[in-house]
């Protein structure tokens, strides 16, 4: 089947067509032609004002499958990811059982040959993500795990963290960790500050993240290896990482919503805004924006963490952390584009995560495989019952109009085109 994408702006620094408006013809899963001709095709997508990039990649999607499928399963997350513009996702290991054997890795990746969305497994660093006993990471790597993390749970055990960095050097694997001192954040509900005091909620101080980042970087300097710090949130954390990058192999990511939302928005006790790390203050958000521009931040991820009604439709202090954000990720990028150039934003969700995981970075050139995301930054839409693909609905944007939507996704000789 031939599909013609008419006149999108191509965003791919590795392509000779970067920042140009061209017609792109896709035939049998490959980019057949790029140019100004109106190529004959079975289907035409009019893409004026849209942006065409290599396929988006989400680093660290939460899926409850296996064991917690009522929150999200592999089928529902695939639909949500495609509707959000992603061609690939790497899923966290916080399942039941956790991703700690070859069987669990294979369960996640087994259908990749026959599906559009490629799902990669991030394997557990410790058994059952308890932080106490290392998994067989070499076996998991050979089974196809692309990275190693305890996901939503930080590596609290200093010796385990050190040994993980050393162990992974045997195959140049990357250790991914969410930096958090769980003792300092114990019983915390939101960012510690004026607003937490006014609302009467136990705070989660910046130092809980920053002291953990300091420890991680010191151990990385001592042990060597590759470290990726996930979901960072404070201005001081940015400065620590920026300095460390001069001499250490360290990368980092933020969630797409973190620079857009702040703790003043919790006045109504919306549990969908209860996230970890918590929404910080505007000064922190401004620091994150600057770090996107100067390259300190390598990756933007969705932070997709579904929660059922029983875990979210409760009093704020009883609610679980997290929001769904695969489908609204593009709207977040549109919001960020007011401060950061589109070229930078798209790099953080295309080449950035693939480089962290040492995966091939596709490119937009003739005769290359079509791994593409077509995005309309001006399209207005509503995440609601008929459009929500997730099994959960814990989004602060649920039933609200947002701007920015994926229009089409191409990968693995397959495609998805939005019909809404």
398 shares a domain with 316: no
Residue located via tokens 């509707």? 83
Whether residues 245 and 257 fall in one domain: yes
Strand partners, 223: none
Close Cβ partners of 146 (under 8 Å, ≥ 6 residues apart): 90, 120, 121, 122, 357, 359
In the block, which residue shows the tokens 């702040």? Answer: 262
Shared domain for 79 and 44, answered yes or no, is no
Phi, psi of 32 (to 5 degrees): -85, -45
CATH number for 371 = 2.30.40.10
Question: Can you tell me the distance from the alpha carbon of 411 to that of 413, in angstroms, rounded to the nearest whole number?
Answer: 6
Whether 168 and 276 map to the same domain: the answer is: yes
In the prediction, which pLDDT does 283 show?
98
Residues in the chain where the model's pLDDT stays below 70: 420
In a 10 Å sphere around its CB, with 0-12 CB exposed, 13-18 middle and 19+ buried, how is residue 247 labelled?
exposed
Q: Which domain holds residue 278?
A: 55-356
Residues 275 and 229 in one domain: yes
* Shared domain check, 378 and 333: no
Same domain, 188 and 334: yes
Count Cα neighbours of 308 within 13 Å in the Cβ-side half-sphere: 9
pLDDT score for 419: 79
| Residue whose C-alpha is closest to residue 64's, from 102, 101, 106, 108 | 108
Residues 137 and 151 in one domain: yes
* H-assigned helices in 226-363: 235-244, 282-294, 309-312, 329-336, 342-347, 351-356
Q: From 356, 389, 408, give the residue that closes a domain.
A: 356
Residues 197 and 335 reside in one and the same domain: yes
Residue 59 sits in the same domain as residue 47? no
Residues 252, 188 share a domain: yes
pLDDT of residue 247: 98
Q: Which of 306, 328, 356 is the last residue before a domain boundary?
A: 356
Residue 384 burial by Cβ neighbours in a 10 Å radius (0-12, 13-18, 19+): exposed
What is the count of structural domains for the chain? Answer: 2
**CB-based contacts of 147, cutoff 8 Å, min separation 6:** 90, 122, 123, 173, 174, 175, 176, 228, 356, 357
pLDDT of residue 286: 98
Is the same domain home to 111 and 251? yes
Nearest in space to 78 (alpha carbons), one of 353, 411, 413 = 411
Give the CATH number of the domain where residue 297 resides: 3.20.20.140
Q: At what angle do helices 235-244 and 282-294 cross, to 10 degrees?
A: 30
pLDDT at 367 (0 to 100) = 97
Three-state DSSP at 5 gives strand
pTM listed for this prediction: 0.97
């Amino acid at each position: 089947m031939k599909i013609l994408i008419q006149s999108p702006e191509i965003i791919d620094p590795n392509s000779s067509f970067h920042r140009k408006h061209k017609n792109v013809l896709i035939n049998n899963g490959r980019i057949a032609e790029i140019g100004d001709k109106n190529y004959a095709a079975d289907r035409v997508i009019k893409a004026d004002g849209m942006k065409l990039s290599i396929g988006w990649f989400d680093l660290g999607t939460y899926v409850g499958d296996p064991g917690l499928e009522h929150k999200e399963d592999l089928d529902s997350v695939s639909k949500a990811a495609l509707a959000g513009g992603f061609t690939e996702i790497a899923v966290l290991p916080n399942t039941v059982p956790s991703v700690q054997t070859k069987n669990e890795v294979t369960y996640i990746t087994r259908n990749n040959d026959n599906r559009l969305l490629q799902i990669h497994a991030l394997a557990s660093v410790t058994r059952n993500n308890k932080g106490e006993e290392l998994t067989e990471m070499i076996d998991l790597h050979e089974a196809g795990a692309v990275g190693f993390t305890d996901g939503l749970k930080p590596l609290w055990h200093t010796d385990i963290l050190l040994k993980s960095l050393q162990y992974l050097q045997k195959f140049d694997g990357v250790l991914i960790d969410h930096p958090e001192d769980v003792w300092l954040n114990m019983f915390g509900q939101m960012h510690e500050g004026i607003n937490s005091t006014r609302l009467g909620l136990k705070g989660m101080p910046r130092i809980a993240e920053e002291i953990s980042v300091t420890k991680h970087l010191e151990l990385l300097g001592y042990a060597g290896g590759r470290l990726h710090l996930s979901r960072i949130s404070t201005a001081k954390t940015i400065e620590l990482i920026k300095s460390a990058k001069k001499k250490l192999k360290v990368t980092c990511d933020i969630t797409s919503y973190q620079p857009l939302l702040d703790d003043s928005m919790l006045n109504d006790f919306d549990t969908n805004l209860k996230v970890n790390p918590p929404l910080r203050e505007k000064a922190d958000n401004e620091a994150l924006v600057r770090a996107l521009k100067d390259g300190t931040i390598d990756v933007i991820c969705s932070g997709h963490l579904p929660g059922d009604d029983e875990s979210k439709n409760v009093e704020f202090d009883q609610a679980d952390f997290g929001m769904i954000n695969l489908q609204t990720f593009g709207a977040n990028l549109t919001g960020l584009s007011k401060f950061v150039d589109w070229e930078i934003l798209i790099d953080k969700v295309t080449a950035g995560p693939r480089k962290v995981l040492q995966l091939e970075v596709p490119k937009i050139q003739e005769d290359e495989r079509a791994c593409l995301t077509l995005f309309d930054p001006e399209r207005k839409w509503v995440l609601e019952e008929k459009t929500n693909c997730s099994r959960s609905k814990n989004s602060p944007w649920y039933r609200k109009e947002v701007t920015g939507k994926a229009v089409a996704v191409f990968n693995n000789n397959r495609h998805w085109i939005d019909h809404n």
